[in-house]
């Protein structure tokens, strides 16, 4: 979903994206897309702030029940005294879905080749996905369940020749960069992350709480700043500890078209110079040169293109539920 698309398109796309996961959000998004008054209300916001999950979370933050009827959302938005708008303007959709690790770990393992790695996340939010070594994995394949790691379980259905490891990669250093990194000790920020989880997804919310506790025990090194400016120096810092892997998921979509190209050029150059590996996990239209590097199967809703060093290797569910390697 493009965060800068027209509001009607964003909300219809979000409804399709939420189908099967959140009946409440399917109804809300579909109704918004056909409600001229609410669309006019959204037009008062900066384009990037009209995103459905951000607007819905802000409404829920201020007491709109979810699951709940569309009328509750509509009344709250149209009757807003400025509180909901202020929350939308000051907050962002930093979900930081830890379930993605079930699809990222095989890519990490492929480039790690049994050696320790330094993980550097671009758009790290609170850094919750920087702890692949603190979880265990259950990958269901046509040949049975493959397992690795120790800790709370993350599961995914896997097809194709995915390089599923017997052991999770050893992490020698972990860090990240974000325009507004979250502090796992900040209860307000963590409650906001919980509010971003869709209302019917209790298991995701519980997983988020586990991830917060894991990060609180050993907070990663997070830098506030523009990833395009900060990444080269951070790669050098990570490289003092182990072979760096720079990764990002559902982050490049928030960059403009020019900056997406800059990101591709930056990461391709760092890889070519042997300074790091690059694992990207983005919607297919976000990094077009990555997607064009190799024929990519049709990507279903909820699907990202997972690529290693700029070459697509798999399709991955946006929240980590499945992985289709080819």
Other CB atoms within a 10 A radius of the CB of residue 115 amount to: 11
Burial of 158 (0-12, 13-18, 19+ CB in 10 A): buried
Q: What angle do CA 261, 113, 143 make, to 5 degrees?
A: 100
| Alpha helices, H only, 200-253 | 202-217, 227-239
Please tell me the distance from the alpha carbon of residue 47 to that of residue 197, in angstroms, as a whole number: 22
Tell me what pLDDT residue 17 has: 84
Contact between 5 and 13 (Cβ < 8 Å): yes
Q: What does the pLDDT read at residue 127?
A: 95
* pLDDT at site 4: 55
CA proximity to 78, closest of 36, 50, 46, 48: 36
Question: pLDDT by residue for the chain (326 residues), tens digit each?
Answer: 565 568 999 999 999 888 888 999 999 999 999 999 999 999 999 998 999 999 999 999 999 999 999 999 999 999 999 999 999 999 988 767 899 999 999 999 999 999 999 999 999 999 999 999 999 999 999 999 999 999 999 999 999 999 999 999 999 999 999 999 989 999 999 999 999 999 999 999 999 999 999 999 999 999 999 999 999 999 999 999 999 999 999 999 889 999 999 999 999 999 999 999 999 999 999 999 999 998 888 888 779 999 999 999 999 998 899 999 99
Enumerate domains of the chain plus CATH numbers.
7-90 (no CATH), 98-325 (3.40.50)
Distance of alpha carbon 318 from the chain centroid = 7
What pLDDT is attached to residue 1? 54
Which positions ≥6 away from 230 have C-beta within 8 Å? 177, 223
Q: What is the pLDDT of residue 21?
A: 87
Say what the pTM is.
Answer: 0.89
CA angle (135, 187, 137) in 5-degree steps: 10
């Amino acid at each position: 979903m493009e965060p800068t698309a027209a509001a009607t398109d964003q909300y219809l796309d979000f409804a399709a994206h939420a189908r099967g996961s959140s009946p409440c959000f399917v109804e809300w998004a579909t109704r918004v897309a056909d409600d001229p008054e609410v669309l006019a209300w959204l037009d008062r916001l900066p384009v990037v702030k009209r995103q459905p999950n951000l607007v819905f979370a802000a409404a829920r933050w201020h007491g709109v029940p979810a699951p709940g009827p569309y009328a509750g959302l509509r009344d709250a938005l149209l009757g807003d005294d400025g509180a909901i708008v202020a929350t939308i303007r000051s907050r962002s959709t930093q979900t930081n879905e830890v379930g993605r690790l079930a699809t990222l770990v095989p890519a990490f393992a492929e480039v790690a080749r049994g050696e320790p790695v330094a993980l550097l996340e671009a758009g790290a939010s609170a850094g919750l996905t920087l702890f692949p070594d603190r979880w265990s994995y259950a990958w269901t394949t046509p040949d049975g369940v493959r397992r690795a790691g120790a800790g709370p379980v993350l599961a995914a259905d896997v097809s194709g020749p995915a390089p599923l490891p017997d052991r999770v990669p050893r992490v020698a250093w972990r860090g990240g960069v974000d325009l507004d990194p979250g502090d796992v000790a900040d209860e307000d920020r963590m409650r906001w992350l919980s509010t971003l989880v869709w209302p019917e997804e209790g298991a995701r919310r519980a997983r988020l709480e586990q991830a917060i506790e894991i990060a609180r025990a050993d907070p990663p090194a997070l830098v506030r700043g523009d990833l395009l400016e900060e990444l080269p120096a951070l790669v050098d810092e990570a490289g003092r500890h182990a072979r760096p892997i720079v990764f990002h998921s559902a982050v490049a979509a928030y960059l403009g078209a020019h900056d997406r190209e800059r990101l591709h050029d930056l990461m391709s150059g760092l890889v070519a110079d042997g300074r790091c590996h690059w694992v990207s996990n983005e919607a297919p239209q976000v990094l077009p040169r990555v997607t064009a590097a190799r024929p990519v199967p049709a990507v279903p809703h909820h699907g990202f293109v997972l690529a290693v060093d700029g070459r697509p290797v798999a399709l991955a569910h946006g929240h980590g539920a499945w992985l289709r390697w080819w």
